Structure formats: C-alpha cells, structure tokens
Amino acid sequence: MTSGNERLRYNLFLEPSHLRVIGDGTGGSEAITAASVHSPGRAVFTIYGKILPGQSVSPGQYSDDLTFQMEF
C-alpha cells in the first residue's frame, strides 16, 4: 500500500488466523483453488489482510489496487 512516496508492506491470507499466505503456490504461498474456496460451483471467498510489523511510515491514508487472475 502507498501514501505518497511511502510504502506499507502487507500480506493477504486465506483465513483469519493469517497462516496461509495467498500467492502462486511458490515460496510457501498457496494458490486459491476450488478446494480452498469451499463453495462448489461458485467462486465466493474472503481474503484477509495483515500489515507487516516493524515498519516506520508516517500516519495517513494508504491504498493499493489488487488484481487476481482466475482460471476456470
């Protein structure tokens, strides 16, 4: 996420315990699959975010754009 020239790092997760990082399946991440969605016939899922600790950034509003590629 960014605010001006400042960057705030975060990860996206498959569940609220923040243990399963969403990614492409490499480096310990997990790709979102039909099995991880738990909704046969539907692509409905919740994504959880967590800001990484120990960052020295100014207070303010931070934003980001996310793009997901889905293959069926």
Task: Quote the CA–CA distance of 13 and 28 in Å, as a whole number.
Answer: 12
Residues 57-69 have pLDDT tens digits of 999 999 999 887 7
Residues 3-44 have pLDDT tens digits of 999 999 999 998 999 999 998 889 999 887 766 655 566 667
Residues 40-56 have pLDDT tens digits of 666 677 899 999 999 99
Token duo for residue 72? 């069926």
Residues 6+ apart with CB under 8 A from 34: 40
Q: What per-residue confidence (pLDDT) applies to 46?
A: 84
The DSSP letter of residue 35 is H
Q: What per-residue confidence (pLDDT) applies to 55?
A: 97
